[in-house]
Amino acid sequence: MKREHQISNQVIKRLPRYYRFLGELSAKGIVKISSQHLAELMGITASQIRQDLNCFGGFGQQGYGYNTSALQAEIGKILGLDTIKNVIIIGAGNLGKAILSGMHFNKRGFEAIGIFDSSEKVIGTSVAGLTVQSMDELPGFCKKNNVAVAVLCIPSTTLRETCETIIDLGIKGIWNFSHGDLSDFKDKAVIENVHLGDSLAALGYNLK
Amino acid sequence: MKREHQISNQVIKRLPRYYRFLGELSAKGIVKISSQHLAELMGITASQIRQDLNCFGGFGQQGYGYNTSALQAEIGKILGLDTIKNVIIIGAGNLGKAILSGMHFNKRGFEAIGIFDSSEKVIGTSVAGLTVQSMDELPGFCKKNNVAVAVLCIPSTTLRETCETIIDLGIKGIWNFSHGDLSDFKDKAVIENVHLGDSLAALGYNLK
DNA sequence: TAGATTGTTAATCGATTAACAATC
DNA sequence: TAGATTGTTAATCGATTAACAATC
């Protein structure tokens, strides 16, 4: 897998879609596909597919096309689905519970190993097989376990403070669902913002 | 508000962030701000701010800058926060409940007026002040109420089918949280996909 | 071999940044 | 008026699309 120059996030975010389509084709028993045909299926250009793939190497065969299941496997490797990364959820409200129980982390190269909250009301309750722990237990937990990613499902009032705590505990990845700005932490951790509000705003605008 | 040529979604999705920063400044009692100073605060370029704003008109004053609260109000108008759009949630699982109770639709130019599910287990239960209705009640509900947006929090197995139903009922906006492809519906409705899986994949990739 | 399709280079398109004249 | 800062045009940068030589 070559990776000469920095690959844009736009390319990365297209990979899961390729992965999904190739999986479906493969499940249907379709063994080979050309970039042209896959492009039509996905509603994009064949050029884009070939350019995207060539960021990582040549996975096809000239005159033939791509082997669906082999290409899917390669994309899986690029996305790191084969190395399991431990995840904890911070915040056991509706959103935290929804993410923990519905995200299928184990199908995506992750494993959810803990969920934490500061409210006495939810501490000790069970969500998707995990017991909600107190935030006080977080430092000890992080020492015992190699936590790669924290998913932040907390109110934006405590966002920055929680973020600092987490970074101090050595967690390198932050998946942020809170509204609020973490751009000044981006040299200390890899931050991926979901920003549902921006998405909803775009929908509202485009309705006019 | 001018709007000569099509405005890119990238511009639209930056507007909520401007809105938030301007609100905070205004709340602090700061009356005026220059594009230069706002840019430093937000970690972007002053050029981008001025270009973005000029898609919609000139809201500043040469030699002075922008009035924080006036500019915030203008951006609110552009985003359509002043015209309330009715929203329904399809799917009353953890995610549907989280979106309904945590999204603060009323602060974003929307009002959540209904939540629907097909499972007997949740029909009749109450979420954030709304009673979960059966999917069978959806057509009648849509006739009585002007529903602008449906939020899809359903398994991807029923996604396409639900999408067709919704479009037939005259709903023009779809906010899709399911994994799965709706690109072929995009001429029949305005579709905004959240695609949490793609976001998580990007985080995983960037951790390496 | 001939046909097909990749991998890769070149051209185009769009978005971001820089520059500056207009003007408050 | 002089200084500051916008609104807008021009330059740069990056991403997408097209073209085609390499090759299976």
Which band of pLDDT confidence, cut at 50, 70 and 90, is reported for residue A4? low
Global confidence as pTM: 0.93
CA closest to C1' of D4 belongs to B63
Which helix (H) or strand (E) element contains residue A41? Answer: helix A35-42
Task: Give the list of residues 6+ apart from residue A27 with CB closer than 8 angstroms, or none.
Answer: none
Task: Name chain A contacts of B175, Cβ cutoff 8 Å.
Answer: 199-200, 203
Q: Which nucleotides of C are covered by protein (CB under 7 A)?
A: 2-9, 14-19, 22-24
Return d(Cα A57, Cα A74) in angstroms, integer. Answer: 10
At B86-123, the pLDDT tens digits run: 999 999 999 999 999 999 999 999 999 999 999 999 99
Task: Name chain A contacts of B17, Cβ cutoff 8 Å.
Answer: 181, 198
Residue B24 sits at the chain A interface (C-beta within 8 Å)? no
* CB within 8 Å: B149 and A203: yes
Instruction: Say if CB B169 and CB B138 are below 8 A apart.
Output: yes
Residue A10 sits at the chain B interface (C-beta within 8 Å)? no
Residue A167: the pLDDT is: 97
Task: Give the list of residues 6+ apart from residue B205 with CB closer than 8 angstroms, or none.
Answer: A12, A15, A78, A79, A80
At B116-168, the pLDDT tens digits run: 999 999 999 999 999 999 999 999 999 999 999 999 999 999 999 999 999 99
Instruction: Say if CB B178 and CB B154 are below 8 A apart.
Output: yes
Q: Which of B110, B181, B194 sits opposite A196 (nearest CB)?
A: B194
Strand D contact with B3 (CB < 7 A): no
Say how far residue A175 (Cα) sits from the centre of its chain: 8
Residue A173 sits at the chain B interface (C-beta within 8 Å)? yes
Residue B55: the pLDDT is: 96
Q: What radius of gyration, in Å, describes the C-alpha atoms of chain B? A: 20
> Using CB atoms within 10 A of its CB, is residue B123 exposed (0-12), middle (13-18) or buried (19+)?
middle
Return d(Cα A177, Cα B152) in angstroms, integer. Answer: 18
Instruction: Say if CB B163 and CB B147 are below 8 A apart.
Output: no
For CA atoms A32, A33, A35, A38, the dihedral sign is: negative
* 3-class secondary structure, B109: coil
For CA atoms B28, B32, B37, B42, the dihedral sign is: positive
